[in-house]
Amino acid sequence: MKKRFLLPFLIGLAAAVPAIAQQPLDALVDREIAQLVSTYKMLHASPELSHYEEKTSAFFATQLRALGFTVTERVGKYERTDLVAYGVVAVLKNGNGPTVWVRTDLDGLPVEEKTGVPYASKVKTRNEAGQEVSVMHACGHDVHITSMIGTAKMLAALKDQWHGTLVIIGQPAEETVTGARAMLADGLYTRFPRPDFILALHDSADAEAGKITYVPGYAMASSTSVDVVVRGLGGHGSKPEATKDPVVIAAQIILALQTIISRENSPLDPAVVTIGSIHGGTKRNIIPDEVVLQLTIRTYKEEVRRHILTAIERIAKGIAAGAGVPDDRAPILKVIESESAPSLYNDPQLTERVTAAIGRAIGVDNVVKVPPMMASEDFGRLSLDHQIPAVMFWLGAIEPSKVEASRKSGKPLPSLHSSLFGPLPEPTLRTGVKAMTSAVLELMKK
């Protein structure tokens, strides 16, 4: 008797649970998608450079305020006091429960758009050096902003399904990795409710629209900008015996630095040392006083980063000493903290929980684990050295037939930051909104 009653009930329940959970979200997304696509196109056509996101942040703030969020604008303090930080913090309280933060970035890039879409950016402006540059959302931060507006709409409409405090932030200056630091420096976690979890998404130039890809654990590398000033004793090009030639010393340093990764670092700890620029001298027959090398260092682990910095200094000073450069002219290592970002560590437990929920919303086959990368993002800074569990997942943004053609031909697709990077708006936004909404609902469900 018991069995006869329970079995049909359980079967009914199994079928009903996803339907009950998903139907309102699907219907809500259907209702909003046309508006979201036009918001996206408007944002795409009007990008702003890092540090100058005045109109974008005001638009984002207005949208969230209209949904009932308490919004604070201009949150952030840059080291440079001549710049205004256009950070937005929007808080929606809905009873007792966890505090979940969701972050979008706001800035575009100095790239001239060549996608040829009707809503392509034609914006030109002056950069900080006073040169005229074109501006494009070549990293797809317009996709992120629109996905967060959509997520805010869903969660405001589905308030009966969750409890707690939802905080949505618009972060300026991601591309210069100065925005997250500026917001933290302005009391982000003391002026606003401190997060239990932080979520973000970033569009992917490799994955099809409709898919979410993710990396548990270390997902993106730390990025450290370093200058090495190689000092010598300059003189006439015909009289090397009276000089200490920094050009030759710099050349030896460049080659020796390659041994840090190959000979000092564990092959199990991914790391990169790239010398992207070398500048020295003015004329063929003058031995200059100094040469400046500009480096980028990428690592996942902090101890690996510290070891590499120590090794660069040791090798540079050792080679200069070997060439007879006096101690008071030894090379100088300058770490440019304001241009550096920590690695992105996706808390494995949180990643599993969130991606399982996304799988239930968009289909498990559409949620795919992918390898990490050595590129960088400043989202990781918000987790305060892994103290606050955080995850950023990838949102597929490319027309599926193009991804298929690229796989077949081996010809790479336009990457993020390319003038040809062109997300497919509707399916990308639909997936972004559904994924982020179901991730937040999983963490805040009643």
Residues with a catalytic annotation lie at 105, 175
- 398 and 413 Cβ atoms separated by less than 8 Å: yes
Stretch binding Zn ion (CB under 5 A), from 39-47, 136-144, 180-188, 389-397 = 136-144
Candidates 66-74, 131-139, 218-226, 331-339; binding stretch for Zn ion (CB under 5 A):
131-139
CA distances from 119 to 187, 224, 259, 425 (A): 37, 36, 48, 11
Residue placing its CB nearer to Zn ion in the complex, 290 or 377: 377
By beta-carbon proximity to Zn ion, the closer residue of 223 and 243 is: 223
Q: Which two tokens stand for residue 262?
A: 């190959």
Tell me the closest approach of the beta carbon of residue 50 to Zn ion, in angstroms.
10
> Is residue 139 involved in binding Zn ion (CB under 5 A)?
yes
Least distance from Zn ion to the Cβ atom of residue 74, Å: 22
Q: How far is the CB of 175 from Zn ion (least distance, A)?
A: 5
Residue 394 burial by Cβ neighbours in a 10 Å radius (0-12, 13-18, 19+): buried
Distant-in-sequence, close-in-space partners of 422: CB < 8 Å, separation ≥ 6: 115, 117, 414
Which range of residues in 132-140, 207-215, 269-277, 426-434 is near Zn ion by CB under 5 A? 132-140
In terms of phi and psi (left: phi > 0; alpha: psi -120 to 50; beta: otherwise), the region of 229 is beta
Strands 70-75 and 87-94: antiparallel
> Which among 92-100, 138-146, 241-249, 331-339 is the span making contact with Zn ion, rule CB under 5 A?
138-146
Q: Which helix (H) or strand (E) holds 335?
A: strand 332-341
Smallest distance from Zn ion to CB 12, Å: 45
The three-point CA angle 93-95-101 to 5° equals 45
Residue 95 C-alpha from the chain's centroid = 31
To the nearest 10°, report the CA torsion of 95, 98, 101, 102: -80
Give me the least distance between CB of 378 and Zn ion, in Å please: 10
Q: Which is nearer to Zn ion, 78 or 394 (CB)?
A: 394
For Zn ion, the closer of residues 229 and 420 by Cβ is 420
Q: Does 209 bind Zn ion (CB under 5 A)?
A: no
**Do 89 and 192 touch, CB atoms closer than 8 A?**
yes
Q: How far is the CB of 144 from Zn ion (least distance, A)?
A: 8
Size of the site for Zn ion (CB under 5 A): 1
Choose the binding region for Zn ion from 39-47, 134-142, 229-237, 248-256 (rule: CB under 5 A): 134-142
Residue nearest to Zn ion (CB): 139
Q: Which is nearer to Zn ion, 139 or 398 (CB)?
A: 139
Q: How near is the Cβ of 377 to Zn ion at its closest, in Å?
A: 7
Tokens of 406: 């690229």
Write down how long the chain is: 446
319 binds Zn ion (CB under 5 A): no
Neighbours of 399 (CB within 10 A): 16
| 439 contacts Zn ion (rule: CB under 5 A) | no
- List the structure tokens of 252: 């030896």
- If one asks whether residue 136 binds Zn ion (CB under 5 A), the answer comes out as no
**Which residue lies nearer to Zn ion by CB, 149 or 230?**
149
Q: Which is nearer to Zn ion, 67 or 416 (CB)?
A: 416
230 C-beta neighbours (distance < 10 Å), count: 31
Site residues, Zn ion (CB under 5 A)? 139
